[in-house]
């Protein structure tokens, strides 16, 4: 009697459906993720045991380099009405109006293109009188080097200027704010009610200083905030391990 031949079954698995799902998930995460932009300076925060997380939206961050340079980062809401780019554009327009009012003989006129370029930036730290010259740098790599102080800024009249962050000094006169205080005030006025309340409660302002930055420099920043009635703010730290 002959052997019964058993028909071999195809072990191939159709992965078409799985591939479609993978591509859809990848596309979803790419469209919904918020990518962190490179900061102008490397800041290694001091360790602490606090586990409270810094918000990823509606936040004004003050970056302080080891050498004492001050930069600002502005994050808006995930709501399309007050997204980061919209908030930054309003911030720059408000700052220009405030600066020009204070310096009528040295006004800074910004084009819509320059405002749009500023809106794309995550962090900035330029004396406002050089803002137009800095934004006009088309080479992004060179612009970053100028911001970091690695290269001098060449103004339209040919002058070479070494930038040193946002101008800040001890100032207890709220009616005559320095540039740093003006930026903070304009940021407050550019935000929605949610961020304004967040700034007043202390969750909307965060100070991120390097662990080697002298306390005297950090103290100047805190004193400046308190002068303009921003009495509550957070200090960014790195989570310290238990054995530390």
- The Cα-based distances of 242 to 50, 53, 234, 236 in angstroms read 12, 18, 22, 18
Give pLDDT tens digits for 15-31.
666 777 777 777 766 66
Nearest to 136 by CA among 158, 160, 153: 153
Q: Could you report the per-residue pLDDT of 179-216, keeping only the tens digit for each? A: 999 999 998 887 767 667 777 776 788 888 888 888 88
Residue 187's alpha-carbon distances to 44, 60, 137, in angstroms, are: 25, 8, 24
Note the pLDDT of residue 239.
42
Please answer whether residues 63 and 73 qualify as being in contact, where contact means their C-beta atoms are separated by less than 8 angstroms. Answer: yes
CB proximity list for 34: less than 8 A, separation 6 or greater: 56
Q: Round to whole Å and give the CA distance between 168 and 171.
A: 8
Tell me the average pLDDT across 171-176. Answer: 84
pLDDT digits (tens, 9 = 90+) for 145-169: 888 888 999 888 888 988 889 999 8
Q: Is a pLDDT exceeding 80 seen at residue 97?
A: yes
Count other Cβ atoms within 10 Å, centred on residue 229: 10
Is the confidence at residue 103, as pLDDT, over 70? Answer: yes
State pTM to two decimals: 0.76
Q: Are strands 47-48 and 238-239 parallel, antiparallel or unpaired?
A: parallel
Q: How far is it, in rounded angstroms, from Cα 63 to Cα 32?
A: 26
CB 199 within 8 A of CB 188: yes
**Does the structure show a pLDDT above 80 at 3?**
no
Crossing angle for the helix pair 193-201 and 179-190, nearest 10 degrees? 130
Q: Which two tokens stand for residue 27?
A: 């596309």
Total residues found in the chain within this entry = 244
């Amino acid at each position: 009697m002959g052997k019964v031949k058993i028909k071999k079954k195809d072990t191939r698995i159709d992965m078409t459906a799985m591939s479609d799902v993978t591509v859809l998930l990848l596309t979803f995460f790419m469209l919904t993720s918020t990518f962190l932009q490179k900061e102008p300076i490397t800041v290694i925060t001091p360790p602490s045991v606090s586990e409270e997380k810094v918000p990823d939206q509606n936040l004004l961050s003050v970056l302080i380099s080891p050498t004492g340079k001050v930069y600002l980062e502005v994050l808006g809401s995930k709501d399309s009405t007050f997204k980061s780019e919209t908030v930054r554009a309003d911030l720059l327009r408000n700052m220009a109006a405030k600066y020009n009012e204070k310096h009528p003989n040295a006004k800074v006129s910004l084009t819509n293109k320059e405002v749009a370029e500023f809106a794309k930036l995550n962090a900035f730290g330029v004396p406002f009188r050089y803002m137009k010259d800095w934004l006009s740098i088309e080479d992004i790599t060179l612009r970053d080097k100028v911001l970091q102080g690695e290269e001098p800024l060449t103004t339209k009249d040919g002058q070479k200027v070494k930038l040193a962050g946002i101008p800040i000094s001890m100032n207890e006169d709220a009616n005559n704010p320095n540039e740093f205080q003006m930026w903070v005030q304009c940021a407050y006025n550019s935000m929605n009610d949610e961020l304004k309340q967040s700034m007043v409660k202390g969750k909307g302002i965060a100070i991120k200083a390097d662990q080697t930055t002298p306390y005297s420099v950090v103290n100047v920043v805190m004193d400046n905030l308190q002068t303009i009635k921003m009495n509550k703010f957070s200090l960014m730290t790195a989570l310290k391990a238990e054995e530390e």
